[in-house]
C-alpha cells in the first residue's frame, strides 16, 4: 500500500499497533477540515508492527495526551516537504482533563467545574492518581 507524504503537517510515527484510533479520538481529529490518514499495522523493523497518523496541516496538538497514550510516539513536523522538527515523547508528570476520575465520592463528581488532575506515581506501570482523592486511574495500555 502506498500513502503519499505530507508536505505541510504532522506525522505521528511509532504508535503501538492498534492505538491510532485512540489517538484519533483523544485529539479529536475528526473535527479537522484537512486530510487525516490512519495507517494501521504497517511493518516496522524496529517495532514489528506499528500505526502512523498523518495530518495534512500544522496544528497544535496536546503532547501530554500523546505521551499518555503511548510515550514512544514520535511527532514529526513537516514544512514544504521537509522535516522541520522531531519530538520524542515521555509520560507526562501531570495530566489535566485528559482522563476523568471514576470515584463517585471524588470532589470532581460534585464540583464539575474543577479540572480532573492526575499525577504520575509509577512510570514503570504507567500509573496515575487523582490529586483530589488518590484513586488510581484506568490506563490506555
Q: Go through the domains of the chain in sequence order and give each one's CATH number.
A: 9-88 (3.30.70.140), 94-130 (no CATH)
Q: Give the residues across from 70 on adjacent strands.
A: none
Give the pLDDT score at 114: 94
In this prediction the pTM is 0.84
- Mean pLDDT score, 7-19: 94
Containing H/E element for 47?
none
Say which residues have a Cβ less than 8 Å from residue 85's Cβ, sequence separation at least 6. 76, 77
Q: Among 77, 104, 100, which Cα is nearest to 88's?
A: 77
Range in 6-15, 42-51, 79-88, 131-140 the model is least confident about: 131-140
* 90 vs 57: CA distance, rounded Å: 24
Query: What single-letter DSSP state applies at residue 6?
Result: P
pLDDT band at 141 (very low <50, low <70, confident <90, very high): low
* 32 vs 2: CA distance, rounded Å: 23
The cell for 109 is 463528581
Phi, psi at residue 66, to the nearest 5°?
A: -65, -40
Give the pLDDT score at 139: 62
Q: Note the pLDDT tens digit of each residue in 20-43.
A: 999 999 999 999 999 999 999 999
Contact 13, 87 (CB under 8 A): no
Q: Among 6, 3, 1, 4, which Cα is nearest to 83's?
A: 6
Give the pLDDT score at 6: 85
Q: Note the pLDDT tens digit of each residue in 82-130.
A: 999 999 999 999 999 999 999 999 999 889 899 999 999 999 999 999 9
Amino acid at each position: 500500500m502506498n500513502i503519499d507524504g505530507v508536505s505541510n503537517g504532522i506525522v505521528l510515527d511509532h504508535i503501538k499497533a492498534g492505538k491510532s484510533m485512540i489517538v484519533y479520538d483523544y485529539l479529536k481529529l475528526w473535527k479537522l477540515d484537512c486530510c487525516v490518514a490512519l495507517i494501521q499495522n504497517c511493518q516496522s523493523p524496529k517495532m514489528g508492527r506499528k500505526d502512523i497518523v498523518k495530518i495534512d496541516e500544522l496544528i497544535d496538538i496536546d503532547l501530554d495526551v500523546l505521551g499518555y497514550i503511548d510515550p514512544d510516539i514520535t511527532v514529526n513536523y513537516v514544512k514544504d516537504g521537509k522535516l522541520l522538527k522531531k519530538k520524542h515523547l515521555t509520560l507526562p508528570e501531570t495530566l489535566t482533563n485528559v482522563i476523568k476520575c471514576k470515584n463517585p465520592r471524588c470532589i470532581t463528581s460534585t464540583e464539575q467545574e474543577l479540572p480532573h488532575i492526575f499525577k504520575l506515581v509509577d512510570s514503570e506501570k504507567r500509573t496515575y492518581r487523582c490529586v483530589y482523592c488518590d484513586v488510581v486511574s484506568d490506563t490506555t495500555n
